[in-house]
Amino acid sequence: MSEYRIRPLETGEHREAWDLFRASLHVSPGSDEEWDRAALSHQQRRSVGAFGPGLIGTARSFDAELLVPGGAKVPLAAVTGIGVRAGWTRRGVLTSMIEAQLADFTERGIVAATLRATEGAIYGRYGYGIATHAQNVLVDRHRARLRPEVPPGGQVHVLDLGDAVPQWPELYAATGFTRPGAMTRPPVFWGGHESQVRRLSPFPRTAVHHSPAGVDGYLVYYVDRESTPVKLHVPGFHYTSPEAFAGLWRFLLSVDLVDEIALMYRPLGEPTSLLFTNPHTAKIETTHDETWLRLVDVPAALAARTYGVAEPVVLEVHDRMLPANDGRYRIGPGGVERTGVTADLELDVDTLAMLYLGEWRPAPLALAGRITGADEKTLARTETLFGTERNPWCGTDF
Ligand SMILES: CC(C)(COP(=O)(O)OP(=O)(O)OC[C@H]1O[C@@H](n2cnc3c(N)ncnc32)[C@H](O)[C@@H]1OP(=O)(O)O)[C@@H](O)C(=O)NCCC(=O)NCCS
């Protein structure tokens, strides 16, 4: 018999689980006030616990939707709060909790799950693959000169936190949910997000961009005057037009008493350096993994997205944890069907997640041994089918 058992947590057990999660990250238990805020980010009936006999492990999720290539939305579980008590690690507790989560997701019709990983070695074995990356970018404000063709932008209004918080959901829905890989932000997300922003700074502000047609961009920023050089940090930045991108940049460059502008979690390929007369004004500091994606229901996920125009390919998918996904899928411009014919290539479900949003190209995945059996022509066809016009990006940290 196993030395622990897994079951859903009752609402009254959430705080103990939250403290356990903090302890697993070497953070002391939270105060009553911190818990009051954190409780807002806990969705009911979405936490599991491992008991042996006291609580020794926990994992939770909240319900959202994922924007997939072509514009459809699919049910998404955003997985977070994973921790195992010191002394109980490496005994399979996490594996058992993930199995319980995946069984629950399958039962509830969740098509995909996503998480952010503290360490890269953990989640591939459970079928999660890195589907999007993000970048941190640093701009030297004193050297920054905008090129003459950069649009003038519209009006920018600055809101303090109290005024901004009630407007964030609408601002994000209008300007942030645009690229493949984006996720909806339900009320439980916003509950947690406010405390996350408060932890970053006592005085975070929100700059909203208005064009004649309406609001088309916003960013969240704060200035750290204790740092040398003085940094303005931008943890969130969304826009839907070149005018808003330029207008918000003009605003950022106008903020006084700032030496550097530090942007977090930007999409790959965002042309920040191209705004400036000297492109070296903007430096990519780090590129890091963003979305770890798990296709829970492969047939539904493949059917939900659109494909480019190329001869169909037959993929043979292997899924050790959810064998219902195992099988061959014929993918073409017209859609997807299960098939019994010989496969053109084989891949595991974590690699399929890496292809799915369009960031990874098939050729490097084959070079790394993650796709097998395909010749160059097949890889080129697969690239055309799965490629997307814009780099996928989530832009939501949770
Ligand atoms: C990460 C954590 C949840 C893993 O829990 P666990 O119960 O020890 O995991 P399991 O025993 O089920 O391990 C499953 C497999 O993952 C491997 N693994 C687990 N954590 C790992 C890590 N940090 N680095 C590398 N491999 C890891 C195990 O070796 C094991 O591999 P095996 O099946 O080949 O033997 C736990 O170590 C923890 O709480 N860490 C600190 C908090 C944290 O990082 N949380 C994750 C937030 S995203």
Ligand 1 atom closest to Cα of 80? 48
Does residue 162 have a known ligand-binding role? no
Residue whose C-alpha is closest to residue 40's, from 218, 186, 259: 186
| Residue 162 shares a structural domain with residue 265 | yes
Residue 115 lies in a domain: no
Residues 314, 269, single domain; the answer is: no
What's 349's domain CATH number?
Answer: 3.30.1050.10
For residue 174, give the CATH number of its domain.
Answer: 3.40.630.30
* pTM, rounded to two decimals: 0.96
User: Does one domain contain both 161 and 271?
Assistant: yes
Contacts of 390 (CB under 8 A, 6+ apart): 179, 180
Query: 386, 358 in Cβ contact below 8 A?
Result: yes
In a domain, residue 106? The reply is yes
Say whether both 52 and 191 belong to one domain: no
In this prediction, residue 2 carries a pLDDT of 82
- In a domain? residue 261: yes
Domain membership flag for residue 249 = yes
**Residue 122 covered by a domain:** no
Strand positions, DSSP E, 143-194: 155-160
**Cα-to-centroid distance, 217 and ligand 1 (Å):** 39
Residue 385 counted as an annotated binding residue: no
Question: Where a domain ends, among 238, 262, 288?
Answer: 288
Residues 106 and 222 placed together within one structural domain of the fold: no
Sign, CA dihedral 344-308-245-78, equals negative
Same domain, 142 and 227: yes
- Give the Å distance between the CA of 321 and the centre of ligand 1: 17
Given 263, 288, 313, the domain boundary residue is: 288
Give the residue whose CA is nearest to atom 5 of ligand 1: 94
Nearest CA to ligand 1 atom 34: 125
Note whether 97 and 176 are same-domain residues.
Answer: no
Q: Is residue 29 part of a domain?
A: yes
Active site residues: 123, 398
User: Which residue out of 18, 89, 102, 126 has the highest number of ligand 1 atoms within 8 Å of its CB and is therefore the one to mutate?
Assistant: 89
Per-residue confidence (pLDDT) for residue 350, from 0 to 100? 98
How many domains does the structure of the chain reveal? 3
- Residues with pLDDT less than 70, the chain: 1
Residue 91 and residue 162 in one domain: no
Per-residue pLDDT tens for 314-370? 999 999 999 999 999 999 999 999 999 999 999 999 999 999 999 999 999 999 999
Write down the pLDDT at residue 1.
60
User: Of the candidates 288, 322, 344, which is a domain's last residue?
Assistant: 288
Q: Are 7 and 48 in contact (CB under 8 A)?
A: yes
What residue numbers bound the domain in which 34 lies?
5-110
Residue 279 shares a structural domain with residue 355: no
pLDDT of residue 139: 98
Q: Is residue 275 in some structural domain?
A: yes
Among the listed residues 45, 112, 100, the one whose alpha carbon sits nearest the alpha carbon of residue 349: 112
Pairing state of beta strands 47-51 and 335-339?
Answer: unpaired
b/e sequence 131-153, b meaning 16+ C-beta within 10 Å: bbbbbebbbbbeebebeeebbeb
Query: Is 90 annotated among the ligand-binding residues?
Result: yes
Q: Provide the edge-to-edge strand list for the sheet that holds 327-332.
A: 335-339, 327-332, 313-318, 345-348, 371-372
Whether residue 250 is annotated as binding a ligand: the answer is no
247 and 333 both lie in a single domain: no
Residue 123 CA: nearest ligand 1 atom is 16
97 in the same domain as 26: yes
Ligand 1 center–CA 48 separation, angstroms: 16
Task: Name all residues whose Cβ lies below 6 A of ligand 1.
Answer: 24-25, 82-84, 89-95, 117-119, 121-122
393 assigned to some structural domain: no
38 and 74 assigned to the same domain:
yes
- Contact status, residue 328 vs residue 108, Cβ threshold 8 Å: no
Write the single-letter amino acid at 321.
M
